């Protein structure tokens, strides 16, 4: 399995876990709480597979950056959270940083 595919699965699982964390209401609801634990377990498993092929700094930057952007989108769309101009600029900078790491940096494993 491709390292970038395992990283994508890690990101997806982390986003699912974090979304369920909001829904768990402080771990007071069973099903969302189980999804949180499972999501993070799967995320760290796939992240560990990713680290066999992609440097830890690059993998973590992409994982955390993409996760942050996706969770922000879910917050806005599913939880009706508001994001202001400064927040949008920050998200754009995160996306730009991940793109620079992947497209221009020689540190990234291609």
Exposure string of 41-53, with b = 16+ CB inside 10 Å and e = fewer, is ebbeebbebbbee
What is the average pLDDT value for the chain, to the nearest integer? 93
CA distance 46 to 7: 6
CA distance 74 to 82: 11
Q: 52 — phi, psi (to 5°)?
A: -70, -20
CA distance 82 to 69: 14
Higher pLDDT, 97 or 36: 36
For 43-63, the pLDDT digits (tens) are 999 999 999 999 998 999 999
Mean pLDDT for the stretch of residues 54-77: 93
For the record, the structure tokens of 83 come out as 């994001």
Q: Which residues contact 33 (CB under 8 A, 6 or more apart)?
A: 20, 24, 27
For the record, the structure tokens of 93 come out as 């900078």
């Amino acid at each position: 399995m491709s390292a970038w595919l395992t990283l994508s699965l890690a990101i997806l699982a982390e986003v699912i876990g974090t979304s369920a964390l909001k829904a768990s209401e402080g771990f007071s609801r069973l099903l969302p709480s189980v999804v949180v634990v499972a999501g993070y377990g799967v995320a760290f498993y796939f992240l560990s597979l990713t680290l066999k092929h992609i440097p830890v700094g690059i993998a973590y930057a992409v994982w955390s950056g993409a996760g942050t952007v996706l969770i922000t989108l879910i917050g806005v769309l599913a939880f009706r959270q508001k994001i202001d101009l400064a927040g949008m600029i920050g998200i754009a900078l995160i996306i730009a940083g991940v793109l620079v790491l992947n497209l221009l940096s020689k540190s990234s494993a291609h």
